[in-house]
Amino acid sequence: MTVARIDARFAALKDEGRPGLVVFVTAGDPDLETSLEVIKALPAAGADVIEIGMPFTDPMADGPAIQASGLRALGGGQTLRKTLDLVRRFREGDKATPIILMGYYNPIYSYGVPKFLADANAAGIDGLIVVDLPAEEDDELCLPALAAEIAFIRLATPTTDDKRLPTVLTNTSGFVYYVSITGITGAASPDATKVGAAVARIRRHTDLPIAVGFGINSPEQAAAIVEYADAAVVGSAVVSLIGKAAAEGVSGAPVAARVSEFVARLAAGVRGVKRNAA
């Protein structure tokens, strides 16, 4: 199903006349079984799309909370192979929720691009966000991913001007991820009005849905963002909950319950913003 699963989800959101909620968690954080419990609970809590971070030792866009989650996962023995297996196990009970892998190119390159794409497809992954691969390097992974029917979702930022934007959007599929602030994840809160202007500018260049992330930490902020965007992305606030539970020695289903309670509040905020149904 791959790209079609993302397209179908955003089409359904449009039919329902509401924006969406994308939730980010790091694979294997703080351990593989707890991570699976959390991910399996997200759709029922209100996540429309799940982003799963591939733990990496040298991130360039991740703030302290997500960096810490990556280190917890790596410390627990998480690998890219285990991340793919995590998604495969999730898919045994959920065939509908889009799954996006987000991270950096080095682990994929080391794994081997053809084998990675084949295994990702078999696991049920729908899209990739690879932060450190610019449009000029599409031959490396983007074009092979598209050929494998896996969406390649690109980031646009406040510094992506009208001259650069068409290049960024070339070969982008699934949705466009607009980074609401300049800087790393969780570093600051976005200005919804500025985000609205940026989203309007991007819409002049593409018909793809636009999801906005970085710095969204509360139901109120998420609701303010989806006044303009098709979906809000929340990551640092969620992985911080997982980190707090790990520090308390809590694992498994109780962690999933804590995350679900927070995600349900985020979803309620997002779903309170109505639009005319398609």
Average pLDDT over residues 52-81: 89
Domain boundaries, position 188: 2-272
Average pLDDT over residues 24-40: 97
In angstroms, the first-to-last Cα distance of the chain is 23
Q: What is the C-alpha to C-alpha distance for residues 143 and 152, in angstroms, rounded to an integer? A: 8
Residue 19 in domain: yes
Residue 277 in domain: no
pLDDT over 70 (residue 1): no
pLDDT for 144-185, tens place per residue?
Answer: 999 999 999 999 988 898 999 999 999 999 999 999 877 666
pLDDT for 71-110, tens place per residue?
Answer: 999 999 999 999 999 999 999 999 999 999 999 999 999 9
Q: Is 51 a catalytic residue?
A: yes
Residue 278 in domain: no
pLDDT > 90: percent of the chain: 83
Q: What is the C-alpha to C-alpha distance for residues 47 and 30, in angstroms, rounded to an integer? A: 20
Residue 262 in domain: yes
Q: What is this structure's pTM?
A: 0.94
Q: Is 33 a catalytic residue?
A: no
Tokens of 21: 């909620």
Name the domain count of the chain: 1
Annotated catalytic residue, options 29, 48, 51, 230: 51
- CB atoms inside a 10 Å sphere around CB 134: 13
Residue 6 in domain: yes
Residue 222 in domain: yes
Which pLDDT belongs to residue 180? Answer: 82
Residue 138 in domain: yes
Q: What is the C-alpha to C-alpha distance for residues 77 and 59, in angstroms, rounded to an integer? A: 18
Q: Read off the CATH number of the domain in which 180 is found.
A: 3.20.20.70
Residue 211 in domain: yes
| CB-side neighbour CA atoms (13 Å) of 260 | 17
Nearest to 27 by CA among 258, 215, 242, 232: 242
- Name the region of 252 (left: φ>0; alpha: ψ -120 to 50; beta: rest): left
Annotated catalytic residue, options 7, 37, 62, 119: 62
